[in-house]
Amino acid sequence: VVAGLGWAGNLGPVGFKGEGTYFHPAENLADTSGVVVASISADYSFNNGFFLSGAGFYNSGGGGDQGLLGLGNVTSGRLTAKNLLPYEWAGFLTAGYPISPLLNASLTGMFFPGDSGLFLNPGLTVSVFENFDMDAIGQLFFGENPVSGDYEALQKAIFVRLKYSY
């Protein structure tokens, strides 16, 4: 059984959105095995093109200190609508800025307070020619190394994408 609610609107010039969903196994309606997944976000575009967005996420079925297991679940593709993030709480912040008409930069971050995990996603988009862009995108996952106990980059990747729009 699934029930949900969402909204999207503005508080003055600031975009304001949220949603919540309750999942409960149909075969166990009398117990407390239901899961609540919720999010709330705000975004704002400045006159100079700078864009800023922040959000908070809650998952009553998520866990706290998961270390590499939690990051593995994020990157493995084993996520569902009921478990978009394996953590109970997460924070999200993204910023983007058009450096020039041909170059855009962005930085996105997610923080998982249950185990102090951090995901950073820097990006650059270059307009190579009309309708053809090239993106350089980084993915960095930070957390506690289970062997050394040090806080460090546990996974690092960079991708290049070519995109043609027609």
Cα separation, 102 vs 127, whole angstroms: 5
Torsion angle of the four alpha carbons 121, 122, 128, 134, in this order, in degrees rounded to the nearest 10: -30
Cα separation, 82 vs 104, whole angstroms: 34
Could you tell me which residues come within 8 angstroms of residue 69 by beta carbon, excluding any fewer than 6 positions away? 86
Instruction: Judge whether residue 32 has pLDDT over 80.
Output: no
Phi and psi (nearest 5°) for 46? Answer: -80, 165
Buried b (16+ CB within 10 A) or exposed e, 135-146: eebebbbbbbee
Closest CA to 125 of 107, 150, 151, 152: 107
Question: What's the DSSP call for residue 68?
Answer: H
112-129: pLDDT as tens digits: 988 788 999 999 999 999
33-86: pLDDT as tens digits: 789 999 999 999 999 999 999 999 999 988 755 555 555 555 566 677 777 787
Question: What pTM, to 2 d.p., does this model score?
Answer: 0.81
